[in-house]
Amino acid sequence: MTSPRTRSPRLLALTGVVAAGLLLSGCSATNPLTTQDEYSASDGVRVTLGDVRASNLLVLSAAEGEIGVLHGALINDGDQDETVTLTFEGAEPTTVELPGGATVLLDGSDDEGHADVPVDAVAAPPGGTVPLTVATASSGAQTLEVPVLDGTLPEYAGALPTATPTPTPEPTPAVTEAVPGAEPTPSPTAEG
């Protein structure tokens, strides 16, 4: 008669390691890895047209109907210079020159490496979206819904566009020619 053998501790440990490995690898075998998916990791949206990427696009504005400014970045991953055209629905297009291998920040500034893309009257309130068409000559165009944000979040409070005040013309005093021997006439004043 044969007697049952006891399992060696090494065999039991190896069996446990193999079972744990199969158990842990089962999740990635049946579910795609989300870290491999491209997504907008911030408040804005993104689009890719050939070698040009538009990243974290959003509009900052105080309210619907007020002025706004497009924020985000344009990145050229290619060697060739590109012209990117940005068009909000019902507005004139804005073109941005994007050198090969360069990044241009969209932040309301005209400094080198930055671009100003203003919006005369934002068509949605903060929390809504507005359509923006991004186009390049080499890769076509794509329209996407860009979120509108205001200064509620502290990181955007200082970046809200403000209307440039129109200077008020100063009144010019009336000039009267002096007639020799005539008494000066007082100018009329409003009483009230």
> What are the residue ranges of helices labelled H in the chain?
9-30, 154-157
Q: How confident is the model at residue 17 (pLDDT cuts 50, 70, 90)?
A: confident
What's the whole-number average pLDDT of the chain?
82
Q: How confident is the model at residue 165 (pLDDT cuts 50, 70, 90)?
A: low
Contacts of residue 41, defined as CB under 8 A and 6 or more positions apart, other chains included, come to none
pLDDT of 52 > 60? The answer is: yes
CA gap 94, 85 in Å, rounded: 6
Measured CA to CA in angstroms, residue 148 lies from 63, 87, 127, 138, 174 at distances of 9, 15, 6, 29, 49
pLDDT of 167 > 60? The answer is: no
- pLDDT of 132 reads 97
pLDDT of 114 > 90? The answer is: yes
CA gap 75, 109 in Å, rounded: 17
Stretch 141-170: mean pLDDT, rounded? 81
- pLDDT of 191 reads 53
Stretch 62-72: mean pLDDT, rounded? 95
- pLDDT of 164 reads 61
- pLDDT of 131 reads 97
What kind of fold does domain 45-153 have according to CATH? Immunoglobulin-like (2.60.40)
- pLDDT of 172 reads 58
The reported pTM is 0.66
Stretch 104-115: mean pLDDT, rounded? 93
- pLDDT of 110 reads 87
Q: How confident is the model at residue 127 (pLDDT cuts 50, 70, 90)?
A: very high
pLDDT of 11 > 80? The answer is: no
CA gap 38, 34 in Å, rounded: 9
